[in-house]
Structure 1
Amino acid sequence: MNPSALIADDEPLLAEYLKAQLANLWPELQIVAIARNGLEAIAALHEHEPDIAFLDIGMPGLSGLEVARSAHGCHCVFITAFDQYAVEAFDRDAIDYLLKPYSEERLQRAISKLQDKLASQQPANNGALLESLRLALGGIGPRNTPQRLSWIRAGQGNEVKLIAINDVCYFHSADKYTTVVTREGEYLIRTPLKELLEQLDAEQFWQVHRATLVNVRDIAEARRDFTGRVTLTLKSRPEPLVVSRAYVHLFKQI
């Protein structure tokens, strides 16, 4: 009998992308349901009793971690936007994780691990990883722990693109949209700068203007003119960025 799986992710495009990848890499795997939130995931677990569940940690309502507590006898693979250094602390033999945006090679490794477990008829043991996750987060449950972005979904025309946070040169807010600027181009998101600040690494992204967040790693030069105004030159973009007076103190050593 072919193994079965549930996919739970509140991002429909990512759920369909994972489904397509699994169809290519593991054609024998039967996807019995795609859930859009934690409550739908639990209902699907009870209805279909899948062998495997791919669970997004950051779903609304109930997180993937909370859903996993109800996934008795089911091998859970977490899908998460945590930074690599944090996710590595969660890796255990009994369960796996996929860090967004994950590569096909990384998914293949997860599939191989799951196939080995199913072949050896090892029972699922989600509790060990759940506790590891809790401890790695300083003992705080997932609902109270802000998750740092490691990727962002942005639009360009009629297309939607997944952009690694490290590839972002800067964010610029205007009207109802925020522009995500990379070396390759510009993309639009609806997330305001205030929300982005709460999810970005404060050591990597600095606010240099009420409408601009810059990736510090992409700053090539900060120059101050005779009026005291600071202008930034980037490594990956030709346009300069002006630092407003409220944030000039960040560059006081120049």
Structure 2
Amino acid sequence: MINRMLRCVLVDDEHLALQYMKVLLEQIPEIEVVKVYDNPLKFLEDLSHLKFDFCILDIEMPGMNGIQVANLLGDKKVIFTTAYTEYAVEAFEVDAVDYICKPVKKERLQKAIEKVKVISLNPNIKNEYIKANTEKGKALLYFESLSFISVSEVDSRDKVAYLSNGNQVKLKNISFHKLLQQLPERQFCQVNKKEIIAMNIVKYYSYDLIESNYVLEGKVKSFTIGNNFREQFLRYI
């Protein structure tokens, strides 16, 4: 159990929605609503002296939308509420705890609050996956199932993730730099200009070549070690 109240701030330009959410939260144990705002700019003015654990933000607001506000909150946890489903991808790109469609139901809100509690009880918890845009929408790529990533032959801005089960996922418009920022260090390594590999697929390696345990189209997949990437690979191995 959490040993103190979780403090929450509500921000929504619709007064009825704001009061309704406050009533719902007051019915949930261990949650304290410290302040409500119908103006996101006023909330940001007060931000420096507010003490809260998480914020419930409406997305569609005049002056500044909820996603823009969330980007200014640092490591504060955020739950988004909105009547519009098209913001889901943007919401999770700012690492929101959850995204709830209006009208908000108590059971759905409680589920989101439970996620906040888990993160609050385990502040050092780390994701076991990355979120990436694909042709089908947002995808979760779990580290344990990710074998390697290569530059798309069709469009170099896109990447292709090769999974341990043989499936492939096209990642839209993402750089290796951004991917490496999200992947756990030492578990993944860029070995040349076009490929990032999971270190657990390495079977044999020489000065300039890696033979993996990954089979692609009936053949064992090999990777060239680029001169600019060799030192880091040897540190990780």
TM-score (norm 2): 0.47
Q: Which has the higher helix share?
A: 1
